[in-house]
Amino acid sequence: MEASENSRGGLLSAETKVHLRHYWQVILERRWLVVIGFFLCMLASALYLLKAQRIFRAVAIIEINREMDGMFSSKELVLSTGREQDYLQTQYRNLQSPSLLRRVLSDLGLVERPEYQKAADPVEALRDQIQIVPVRLTRLVEVRAESPDPKLATNIANVLAYTFVDDNMTLRRGRALDAVKFLDTELVEKETEVRSADEELQRYKEEHNMVSLEASQNVVYQSLQHAQSEYDRARAASTAKQQISEEMKRLVGQGTSLDTIPEIGQKLEIRELKVRIAEKEALLQGLLTRYKDKWPDVIQAREDLASMRRSLEEECRKGYEAILNDARLAAVTEKQLENNLSAKQTALLEHNRLRIKFDELSRKAEQTKLLYNNLLARSQETDVSAKNSVNNMRVVDPAPLPLVHVKPKAALILVLGVMGGLAVGLGLAFFVSYLDDSIKSQDDIETILGLPFLGYVPNIKAGQLHERDLHSHLHPRSSAAESFRTVRASITLASRADKMRVFGVTSSIPSEGKSLCASNFAVVTAQAGLRTVLVDADLRRPSVHKAFKIHAPVGLAAYLKGDTDRIEDITHKSEVPNLDVIACGPIPNNPSELLETQRVEKLLAELRQRYDRVVLDCPPISAVSDPLVMGSRADGVVFVMKFKKIRREHARRSVQRIQDAGIQIVGVLLNDIDFEGRDSYYYSYYYYQNQYYSHYKTEPTTKKGSASAPAPKTPASPS
C-alpha cells in the first residue's frame, strides 16, 4: 500500500515538473515577446513619472472626544461601542459635507481659481482633493488635502479642520439654548397639569365624602367580616333548630308522648313534675292498700295526681311550642343577617369601584408631579450646561507646509511597471504559444496524429546539398547521425519490422526535409551492413543525383518508360559501402502515368531480390498523388515533418489521406530541430543524449573523414 502511494506521489511530482518545464520552455521560446512587453511597460512607467503632475499633501489632525453635557455636568454621556462608532462615522461624513465644503470654497476664494472654474461642480472637485483618514485605535482623524500647490493644500486642510471644530461648538451651544427654551415651555405646561390633577383628585374626594380612602376601606372590610361571621353562626343555629323542629313534628305525628322527646323531657320543670307525679302515684298506691276508692284521702290524692298530669301536659305543650317558635325565630334571624351581609358586600364593591377611579386620579397626579420635578431638574442642569459648554473636538496639529510631493510614487510605479511588464510579456508569450498549433513534439505526433514516433533529427548546418544529404556518412559521430541511427532502431523494433523491406519516405508539404531524411536513413541502414538501395521516386523535382553527385542520363524514368529493362543500367554505386542509388534521370512529362504502370511492380520485385532494404524518396503528399501510388506498393511509409513547419490540422489531413489509401505508416520523424540554438529549450535533453553517445564512438575514420561501416550484420531474408 505504501509502495503504491509512493509511486503515485512520484508520478504526480514528475507530472508537475513536466508542466513547469513546459511553461519555462514557452517563456524561453517567446523570450523576445517577454522582453518587449517588459520594456514597453517600463517605458510607459518612466514616461508617466516624467510627465505626471507633482501632488503635495497637507495633513491636519483633529481629536473627536465623547459628547459631554458640560464642564459642570454631574455625569458623562456614556456611549456603547456601537453607538460611539456611529457617532464617529457620522463626524467623518460631516467633514466632507457639501455645506462645509462650500464654506471652505468661500473662505479661501477657491471659486475664482481656474482649476475650480473648469470643474462642473466645484464642491465635488474640492471633495476629490480631501481625504478623511481615522487613526486606528485612537480618537484622532487626519484631514488630508492634496493639491499641486503646497500652500493651497495647507490652507484647505487647516480651514476645513478649524471650520468643522467651530461649527461643532456653535451647534452644541445652539442645541443647549434650544433645549433650555423647550424645557421652560414644558415646565409651564407641566405645572398647569399638576395643578389640574390635584384639583380633580380633591373634587372626587369631596364628591364621594372620602376623607381617608384607606381608613374607610378598612371599616367597610371589617364590617363585612363581622356580618359574615354573624350570618354563618345564625345559619348554623337555624339549621340545627330546623332539624330539631322537623324531628319533633315527625315524632308527634307518630303519636309519641311529648315528655318522652329528649328536647322537651330534659327541661327542669318537666323533670320535677315527673318526679312529683311519680311520688303522688306511689302515695296513691299506698292509700289504696289501706283505703277504698271513696276514701277522702284517696280522692284527694287522685285529684292532685290529675292536676299534676295536666300541668305536665301543659309544660310539654309549652316546650314544644317554644322549640317551634325558636326554630321560626332562628330562620327569620338568618334571613335578616343574610340581607345584612349582601348589603355589606354591595358597599364593599361600591367602595372598590370608587377606589379604581381614585387610584387613577392619584397616579395621574403623582406622574405629573414626577415629570414636573424631572423637567425642573433637567432644566436647571441644561441651563448650567448651556452657560458652560465645552467643545468635545479640537485641532491637535494644524497642517504644516508640505515640502515633498506624495504623488506620483516613483517606487510604487516602478514596481507596478516591473510587474505589469512581466505580466504583459508573459501573457503575450503564452497567448502566442496558445495560438501556435504546429507539430513540434512527440506528444503532438502520438496524441493528435495517433502515429508512432520514430525520433528527432537535428538541424544540419551545412551549406552544400551533398554534405547535408550524406551527413551521416561524412560525420558519423555527429548528433544528426546518431539521430538517424535512432530512427533506424525505432523502425527495426516496430511491429512487423521483419516483413518491412521497402520504405517510402514522404512529407506533407515541400521543404520539410524528406529527401535529406531519406538519404541519411539509407546511409545509416547501409552502415548497419544491410544491402540498401535509395530510389529517387520524385519524378517532378528529383534531388538524389545532386546529393550523391551522380550523372544519370538513364534513370528511373527511362526504366518506367521502357527505354531499358536492365536494373544495372539505372543503378549507381555510391561512396557509402552497401548503398546503391537509382536516380530519376531526365524529368518525364507524365510522371503520374509512369508510376501507375506495372513496371513499378517489376522494379520493386527485382529490387527486393537484390537488396535487403529499399528506400523510396517520394514527393510530398499534399502536392501530388504520386506518393500514394508508390506508398501503396511499399511495405510502409516513413512520414517526415519539419519542426514547427506544418499545422496540426494540415498534418492530420495528410495522414488521413495516406491511411484512406490503405497505406501503412511506419512512424513519424520530426526534422530540423536546432538543439543548440532556438529549439534547445524543447529538446536539450535529447541533444545531450546524442552528444554523449556521439562523443564516445570509437569507429575509425576514412581518408575523407567518414567512418567505415561496422561489422556487417546478417541481412534479413526476403519476405
**DSSP class of residue 68?**
B
pLDDT at 632 (0 to 100): 86
Q: Considering only CA atoms, which of 64, 83, 84 is closest in space to residue 169? A: 64
**pLDDT tens for each residue of 272-329:** 777 777 777 777 777 777 777 777 877 787 777 788 778 777 777 777 777 778 777 8
Which stretches within 548-647 are classed as H helix?
556-561, 567-570, 591-595, 598-610, 626-633
User: Distance between CA atoms of 297 and 292, rounded to whole angstroms?
Assistant: 10
**Residues 199-240: pLDDT tens digits?**
777 777 667 666 555 555 556 667 777 777 877 877 787 787
Report the C-alpha gap between 531 and 668 in whole angstroms: 24
Cis ω on the peptide bond leading into residue 619 (within 30° of 0)? no
- Counting residues of the chain whose pLDDT is more than 70, the rounded percentage is 81
pLDDT digits (tens, 9 = 90+) for 587-628: 888 888 888 888 888 999 999 999 999 999 998 988 788 888
Residues 93/164, Cβ–Cβ less than 8 Å: no
Rounded Cα gap, residues 643 and 686, in angstroms? 14
Beta bridge partners of 56: 147
CA distances, 563 to each of 539, 558, 573, 585, 610 (Å): 16, 5, 21, 12, 21
pLDDT at 581: 94
Q: Check residues 680 and 404 and name the one with the higher pLDDT.
A: 404
Provide, rounded to the nearest whole percent, the portion of the chain with pLDDT above 90.
Answer: 10
pLDDT tens for 357-414 read 777 777 777 777 787 787 777 766 666 555 556 678 888 889 898 888 788 877 888 8
* Grid coordinates given for 519: 538519404
Residue 13's pLDDT band (cuts 50, 70, 90):
very low
Residue 701: phi and psi, rounded to 5, are -100, 155
**With bands split at pLDDT 50, 70 and 90, how would you rate the model's confidence at 676?**
low
88-119 per-position pLDDT tens digit: 888 889 888 898 888 888 888 888 888 888 88
Per-residue pLDDT averaged across 127-138, rounded? 89
For 18-69, write each residue's pLDDT tens digit.
467 777 777 777 788 888 888 888 888 888 888 878 888 899 999 988 776 5
Residue that is written with C-alpha cell 414636573 in the block: 372
CA 62 to each of CA 66, 155, 393, 403: distance values in angstroms, whole numbers, following the listed order? 13, 15, 7, 22
Cell (9 digits) for 312: 305536665
* pLDDT at residue 15 in the model: 46
Distance CA 669, CA 454 (A): 5
Could you tell me the pTM of the whole model?
Answer: 0.50
Residues 6+ apart with CB under 8 A from 704: 474, 575
